Amino acid sequence: MNLARLLNETARVHAGRTALLDAETTLTWSQWFDRMRRVAGLLAAAGAGPGVRFGLLMKNGFRQAESIWAGHWGGAVPVPVNWRLAPREIADILDDAGCAVVIVDPEFAKLFDEPSLAAWRAGRIVAAADQGDYEALLAASAPAPIHDCAEDTEAIVLYTGGTTGRSKGVRLSHGNLAWNAMQVGLALGIRRSDVTLTVAPMFHAAALCSNVTTLLGGTHAYLRQFSPQNMLEAVERWRIRFTTVVPTMLKMVLDDPGAARFDRSSLRVIFYGSSPMPASWMRSAIGFFPDAEFHQAYGLTETAPILTILGDDEHRAGIAADDAAILGSAGRPLVGVEMRIVDDSGAECAAGQPGEVRVRAPGVMLGYHNRPAETAEALRDGWLRTGDVGAIDDSGRLTILDRKKDLIITGGENVYSVDVEAVLARHPAVAEVAVIGVPDATLGEAVTAIVVLRPGATLTGEELSAHCRASIGAYKAPRQVRFVEALPRTAVGKVRKSTLREDWGKAGGEVPRR
């Protein structure tokens, strides 16, 4: 399954339909298709032909989208880079991926004056409306011919967000992207008439969820940078019907005092991931977006990305029954996804018993770039070892309990941070919380809570631990509590526990007992 072939048919059939809505311009499929092929020609002239990787340092927008699809069309391989990284980190990714050409937004052009990025200055292409040279180059560029390839050909390399350490380049194929788009579209009932707003930064796997709209011949809008009002203004202006967010974004929308003035009645599907939402947030979200369905996803960059979905009907059933088990789950596997839970010996676990989540699916990556040993470790016996600890209940729903490396072993007992976080989050004074293990001379690890309080709230660590002990075993309750102003997060809102462990997880003696 070749993305270029699929796109060719989409553009031919829907030539006169609107492909893109943007503050700068509106493009039909015919217009966008012509631009995309000219970008592919520009890349080829710069040396980024079939099989050659090129970097993208851009905020969300149609120019980044046409550049990514130009790679799929002409055979070059896009490598979108997190623009929030430091110049040295950006250089490390470009070097690791072997990129010589980089398409950049004008606001990032001066970064290439930094010594660490000087090697890419000559191969830098600045893409913007106010860069006449770029548009002139595009107009003069000959549209590139389609590059035919097999579905297992590399289509994109995405560098992981780094919640668990140093970024790795995940190699995804044409087939990975095409199959997952179809699986997601089938599960969510996405229609050609839906206008899709891409909110997640396009260097992140979550943005791949919008591929279904492209392949259907639908209409796209791109949010350059998220803020509650930016998002709601876009929803109102372009009558957005489908969008993908993370719970933190939804909470920011719900807490924004000016949010209610925007018309959000067009929204039909809100797709969210990275974690479940607390029931109180979910009730508020349903009230604020009464016409929308809510679907939660679980997936990984390594699976292109979606594996399971908790549907709108189950959200509403969970709310009606006040069933935390349903709302805390990640739903059931998509069509075509095989999933099993195994113990440390590789034996399959019984229903409800925790173990590592392993999957076999058409979205599973080709491997990690330049990391053969890690690829071999992750892809064994035809199954991807996700590194996540989960359980599947009798109804087939998956609940993610922790990353394997986030599992806390205290006094010989396994503690899943998500269980403790769920209880702590129910305290009325707690706005956000993350739980980690801190080295302890006696217990091995001590459960430690990092807490952000609601404005004006006061709370002691002992009060919070007592609240926890009232609901779960005492050994799971935090032995220490740290209060902070904010939790460190990745670009799409995931808590960066690796940073918390660096800040708070220093090895020492015994943590004080309560």
CA dist 344 to 15, 67, 387, 389, 419, Å?
53, 43, 12, 11, 21
Residue carrying structure tokens 């006169």: 16
Domains and CATH numbers, the chain: 3-391 (3.40.50.12780), 411-504 (3.30.300.30)
Other C-beta atoms closer than 10 Å to the C-beta of 106 total 14
Amino acid at site 502: E
Other C-beta atoms closer than 10 Å to the C-beta of 47 total 12
Q: Where are the alpha helices (DSSP H) in 239-329?
A: 247-255, 279-288, 312-321, 324-327
pLDDT digits (tens, 9 = 90+) for 194-237: 999 999 999 999 999 999 999 999 999 999 989 999 999 999 99
pLDDT digits (tens, 9 = 90+) for 379-413: 999 999 999 999 999 999 999 988 777 788 887 77
The pLDDT tens digits along the chain (514 residues) read 799 999 999 999 999 999 999 888 999 999 999 999 999 999 999 999 999 999 999 999 999 999 999 999 999 999 999 998 889 889 999 999 999 999 999 999 999 999 999 999 998 998 876 656 888 889 999 999 999 999 999 999 999 854 444 679 999 999 999 999 999 999 999 999 999 999 999 999 999 999 999 999 999 999 998 999 999 999 999 999 999 998 888 988 999 999 999 999 999 999 999 878 888 889 999 999 999 999 999 999 999 999 999 999 999 999 999 998 999 999 999 999 999 999 989 999 999 999 999 999 999 999 999 999 999 999 999 999 999 999 999 999 999 988 777 788 887 777 888 889 989 999 999 999 999 999 887 788 899 999 999 999 999 999 999 999 888 888 889 999 999 999 998 876 788 888 898 888 764 444 444 4
Q: Which residues contact 449 (CB under 8 A, 6 or more apart)?
A: 420, 424, 433, 434, 435, 461, 464, 478, 480, 481, 482
* pTM for this model (two decimals): 0.85
Residue carrying structure tokens 């990025």: 117
